[in-house]
A and B are shown apart, each in its own frame.
Chain A
């Protein structure tokens, strides 16, 4: 159907599409209602990954997958209101590709893969290659988002988001962290502080270095506070924020450094405590 109507706009929960239509910023000639595609609502294991249908709502991610995907679940809890979480989907977040989408940072931090389907077949793209510009993604016009693949957690995960209200708020900036204890890797994702969701590669490499050199994964040792500060600064440096109605570029950079520092401390603390338990 998408091949026959490449300009048709897919709609699932409608929490983005309907806003655009109601604001008269979008007037699609046709829409494709994905609600009746039952396969999009399924999730299950696939080669050590979880393959999660694009139509699985945030509410279901929290209740059904919260133990295996804590980072994505934490981000899902900050999406809008309960009503929005009951309708909204990660697939929709990927389709809109807004730099402020809450699901993107944990997908990046956990190195998730987006599955696109078309009449020509299936294509899988790493999340980090999926976001190509502000509200632009790597999808072709004849494709639909079928699912995303993400590894169940191998260690602590965190998500933290700054908004100017204590609930139901669009991110001023956000940060996701994944500690992969199996591979001894650190994953990051930054939201709402660059034209697209981005990772902080230098920060990841720096922290992996610190952990490796000190043998801290094995020792479950303490992290030097100066390393946390450096990690925060590198995360902030990876952002390319702007001034807008939600906040200033300078504040976003500052806040990202704080969030990165705090979330790493929380995650590492959890990792160390797990050893005791």
Chain B
């Protein structure tokens, strides 16, 4: 194509007679240079009949609201009813809470490379969270059988839920198939803000009743999530928001009503914490209010009601395995607190407002707050959760070598490292290669719900065990064939270690290189956790979840009460990780997750007006800097879940759940203001 050869090629992805949100794709343009493509895109004329946007989720619920989809505006309604629906309580506290729209803000914007194979199929190199579900959706969009669409992981760039939905995948493939040429597509930063789903904004109304000595008698909650223009994972997010609405507390009587609705706002979907982040702001604010009403210590009132092993959730599920809610709270409370800001020497980096020089200590008040939260690990409500791993053991260059192949998406959480650790440990082989993830092996499910180390780790472990079994069987038959006297002496004690088979006494039976020679041992296994069941439509009762993860946080903040500026001085956390497969990666998750929680608490918000995002840039969508994110004091418990591989628990999400609510609790304590909305804005703390 020449200088002016850009060819606008509008293609239909869906029925294009309705556009439901600002940012919906209406035409695709490919060119030989991004600048040509931009100019061609500007030449595309679209005639819109502009309707008044439905931007208020409350309004979307009403009968008079325009119906944005044929089935109406309610994406999913959840009802949980447990115990006495008219219970008595000595003390009642009520509150209304609002959570703004957070963005995952992965540093790598959406991008990919689609290459037509010349036979009607396409190869797509892409950063995603779930290769196979992308492939299946693409095959349907493109009208191709799944085997004609092959995906390969390309790069990381972060995800946090933003890459659970298709963004540019179908568009790049459509253009590549139409042009017959490779097509690269990459969003700009501002396009990225528009081109992926966000965390659901929430409006929540809560009522807690308790006895005089602090026992929770009932919780009533109404939770409304704004799902935006399309469903994405809204149905599962509202399920979580309701299942965990009370927090990790025993509560015999509960009535939870949840809705997620369609509006003309940007679509919302998965983000780290997945429904449990929003409700934690509400239930933890309520626990603080309850403590105040009862004259109790806020940690004591939480411990008084903490879930334990054998407790029933409000969904009726009896929770098994370690449930250290009270222990986590006791631990964060017992940790030493940071010293008060030194007044002798002014260090602006330690002040609210930071280096912008807004206070030298004037009007600065300190506050301390606590929060605890929990959520499910893995898929819930009967969703078929499994992962596939292929493990190959062979000899290369005179040394045994293991290849691990899964479709598990490395999104920065460290899955590649964990797979190598597991294979290296199970097979005792030093040289482990984890092949790049692609669709040439079975599905691993998504890198979400804190599930990959559990599920794909479990699959790698299972495949390694199958390989090991064959190696040991081979050794027995080979060695007895060679007439080795000790071949069947004590083979039950044989293990694989240091590239060899080692007997119980530590002596080498045979090296793997010698044993295998040209032989290649390859096994593929699927790993499936416990099955779960769908919530009952009328009562919300079910064994809907397979594992639960818990974390508690304490926040210490300094607030400039005249300017409404906040400095989070320290975050302390205790979390049960079951078993830390990679301790350094676990610490990274606890710190990074807390930073993302802090972001929502004090600054991160997609601002939407009449359906239009007003701040799609890192200039105006602020992420915490190193002066905003304090050191994290960590207490990592490894209590071992008997149901899980190695006893491990999902780690990635709990740090994001209770960190923000602890910060907001501390801000309330420092400022004396109610603070019922996050992110907390300076003017919220002043009432101006």
Contacts and interface: CB of A to CB of B under 8 A. Distances in A.
Contacts of A165: 354, 603, 622, 624-625, 627-628
Nearest to B566: A166
A102 to B, nearest CB: 9
- Taking each of B567, B607, B682, which has the highest tally of chain A beta carbons within 10 Å of its own beta carbon? B682
A161 B567 CA distance: 15
Interface string B414-427: 00000000000000
Interface string A242-271: 000111101100110011001000100000
B628 A251 contact: no
Contacts of A262: 358-360, 362
Residue among B356, B681, B688 having the largest count of chain A Cβ atoms under 10 Å: B356
Contacts of B617: 23
A233 to B, nearest CB: 14
A260 to B, nearest CB: 12
Contact of B565 (A77, A158, A162, A266): A162
B508 interface: no
A162 B357 contact: no
Interface in A15-35: 19, 22-24
A23 to B, nearest CB: 7
B59 to A, nearest CB: 23
B564 interface: yes
Interface in B605-639: 607, 614-615, 617, 619-620, 622, 624-628
A163 B565 CA distance: 8
A164 B603 contact: yes
Contact of B620 (A74, A162, A246, A255): A246
A247 B614 CA distance: 13
Nearest to B625: A167
B89 interface: no
Contacts of A168: 625
A160 interface: yes
Nearest to A266: B360
A162 B564 CA distance: 10
A132 interface: no
B355 interface: yes
Contacts of A258: 562-563
Contacts of A158: 357
B211 interface: no
Nearest to B619: A170
A247 B357 contact: no
Contacts of B686: 251, 254
Interface residues of B, number: 38
B625 A164 contact: no
A168 B622 CA distance: 9
A78 interface: yes
Nearest to A80: B619
B352 interface: yes
B38 A24 contact: yes
Contacts of A172: 682
Nearest to B607: A245
A159 interface: yes
Contacts of A167: 354-356, 625-628
A259 B360 CA distance: 11
A77 B688 contact: no
B675 to A, nearest CB: 15
A162 B358 contact: yes
A169 interface: yes
Contact of B567 (A77, A164, A166, A251): A166
B628 A259 contact: no
A99 to B, nearest CB: 15
Nearest to B188: A22
Contact of B357 (A159, A169, A170, A248): A159
Interface in A177-215: none
Given A78-B356, A78-B357, A158-B357, A251 B627 contact: no
Contacts of A19: 619
B683 interface: yes
Given A23-B617, A165-B603, A160 B356 contact: yes
Nearest to B360: A266
A165 B354 CA distance: 8
B190 interface: yes
Interface string B124-157: 0000000000000000000000000000000000
Interface in A125-181: 158-170, 172, 174
Contacts of B602: 164
A166 B627 CA distance: 6
Contacts of A246: 620
Interface of B: 38, 188, 190, 349, 352-360, 362, 562-565, 567, 602-603, 607, 614-615, 617, 619-620, 622, 624-628, 681-683, 686, 688
17 contacts: A24-B38, A158-B357, A162-B356, A162-B565, A164-B565, A165-B354, A165-B603, A169-B356, A174-B356, A245-B607, A245-B615, A247-B681, A247-B682, A248-B683, A250-B683, A251-B564, A262-B362
Given A167-B627, A245-B607, 19 more contacts: A23-B190, A77-B355, A162-B682, A164-B622, A166-B352, A166-B627, A167-B354, A167-B356, A169-B356, A170-B620, A172-B682, A245-B615, A247-B682, A248-B688, A251-B682, A251-B683, A251-B686, A251-B688, A259-B358
